[in-house]
Amino acid sequence: MKAKKVTYSILDLALVSAGHTLKQTFNNVLELAQQAETFGYTRYWLAEHHNSSNIASSATSVLIGYVAQGTQSIRVGSGGVMLPNHSPLIIAEQFGTLASLYPNRIDLGLGRAPGTDRETAEAIRSDFMQAAHSFPNEIEKIENYFAAENTTAKVRATVAEGVEVPLYILGSSTDSAHLAAKKGLPYAFASHFATTHLFNALAIYRKEFQASEVLQKPYVMVGVNIIIADTDEEAERLYTSLIRMIIGLFTGKRDKVQPPTAMTADLKQVIQNPQVHQMLKYAFIGSKATVKKQVKTFIEETNADELIAVTNIYDIKDRIKSYQLFAEIMAELNQVQ
């Protein structure tokens, strides 16, 4: 059986590097999206996070509009909007507006997690836990708001009715796999940080998938950490910024993305920590030749329809180069198929 071609996309958190302003950060987001468009990437997703000094994608829909305005053809969307933080009506209005401004280019990825700590989640929405438990119902509300038939409802998102905005279910455990399968929607698994349940979740989704009006067969997207440079040594050096980010995550001392340094014995030891090692299981670091082998194996193991790459690098030029090399890898792998 001939292997399928695998789509490739970008997931961005609008990381704030040390010494950079928010304006510089947003300019870098747009520059990367513009370059990604020329490299052949299918979509550019932004992730909703809150109360993190090193992440600037908190006003996700606003940033999506900024990127869509500055690009021509690449799909732009959320990876995802954390739905329990929001009113489904407001999200439908926001994304209906975006899709009217940028037709056939806007995606709405939906997640259940808060994208922040408990205290911040409660500050965003006091009934967050109730909304999280109602996630399937909240998605159904959004579907109804986008339906052309909703014109007779008492509550309407008039700017969304009949507007084409594909929905994606995001997950980091097996719960959302059941939901995505039941609703017949595409499924995106956050294996760039939540690696433990990847294969179980994919198996559940594919086994339980029910065809829908929007999707006839399962569609799987998987997240991967990618850092590519001219040499393995240079990629390892760039990797040190991500390792320090993870140290901050585990110690509660989150800081802006730090410039890369030489790889030290201490940092190598951090990578071997069981929790860190598990989190970075699908981090592919190295030269183009090195990463190409790793990516090829990963695609064969997951049978993914799409890879969505996360590249946490301090300098925008290094990030763009890494994404360019990853696009070359994917084009070469697809050409072989």
What are 95-141's pLDDT values in tens digits? 999 999 999 999 999 999 877 777 877 887 778 778 778 999 999 99
More confidently predicted of 247 and 3: 247
Is residue 250 over pLDDT 50?
yes
Domain ranges of the chain: 7-226+288-312
pTM here? 0.95
Helix, strand, or coil (residue 246) = helix
**pLDDT tops 80 at residue 1:** no
The pLDDT > 70 percentage for the chain reads 99
For the cut 80, the answer to whether the pLDDT of residue 161 exceeds it is yes
- The pLDDT of 244-254, averaged and rounded, is 86
**H-type alpha helices, the chain:** 22-39, 60-69, 88-101, 118-124, 128-133, 135-146, 175-183, 198-208, 232-251, 265-272, 274-279, 288-302, 316-336
Q: Residue 151, exposed/middle/buried by CB under 10 A (0-12, 13-18, 19+)?
A: exposed
Q: Which residue has the tokens 């468009």?
A: 37
Confidence of residue 54 (pLDDT cuts 50, 70, 90): very high
SS3 197: coil
Say yes or no to pLDDT of 4 above 90: no
Superfamily of domain 7-226+288-312: Luciferase-like domain (3.20.20.30)
Q: Residue 85 gets which letter from DSSP?
A: G
